[in-house]
């Protein structure tokens, strides 16, 4: 009653081998999917690092441009102040010149 025939024994071995092969196939597929996911994550990590470097470079360039823009914005103010000072000096010179001329004519 407890004895297996050779055919039954061979059948169990075949079935076990087929199940093991199917399990290997499933595990290999899972490993392939995992490997692709890891590669994708690595690619994303490299991309993020490159973006961080580029953003850092852009930030430095923006700071430089900000300084240059500030200098350009201040330049017209300095020019205006120089022109205003020249006009005031000319007006004062004219008034003083006229006053001196008037005094000389009176004398």
Res 106: pLDDT: 83
User: What is the SS3 assignment for 93?
Assistant: helix
By mean pLDDT, which of 5-9, 30-34, 73-77 is the weakest? Answer: 73-77
The confidence score (pLDDT) of residue 51 equals 95
Report CA-CA distances (Å) from 59 to 56, 68, 77, 100, 103: 5, 14, 28, 61, 66
Q: Does 1 score more than 70 pLDDT?
A: no
Predicted TM-score (pTM) of this structure: 0.50
Q: Which pair of tokens denotes residue 76?
A: 């017209």
Q: What is the largest CA-CA distance in the chain?
A: 155
DSSP 21-74: HHHHHHHHHHHHHHHHHHHHHHHHHHHHHHHHHHHHHHHHHHHHHHHHHHHHHH
Cα–Cα distance, 63 to 13 (Å, whole number):
74
**In the prediction, which pLDDT does 77 show?**
77
Tokens encoding 97 = 């010149």
- What are the tokens at 22? 């199917």
Per-residue pLDDT reduced to its tens digit, 8-64? 888 999 999 999 999 999 999 999 999 999 999 999 999 999 999 999 999 999 999
Taking 70 as the threshold, does the pLDDT of residue 96 lie above it?
yes
């Amino acid at each position: 009653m407890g004895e297996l025939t050779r055919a039954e024994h061979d059948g169990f071995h075949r079935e076990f081998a087929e199940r093991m092969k199917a399990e290997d196939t499933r595990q290999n597929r899972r490993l392939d999917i995992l490997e692709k996911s890891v590669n994708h994550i690595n690619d994303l990590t490299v991309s993020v690092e490159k973006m961080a470097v580029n953003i850092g470079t852009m930030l430095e360039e923006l700071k430089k441009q900000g300084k240059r823009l500030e200098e350009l914005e201040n330049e017209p103010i300095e020019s205006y102040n120089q022109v205003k000072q020249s006009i005031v000096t000319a007006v004062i010179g004219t008034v003083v010149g006229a006053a001196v001329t008037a005094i000389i004519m009176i004398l």
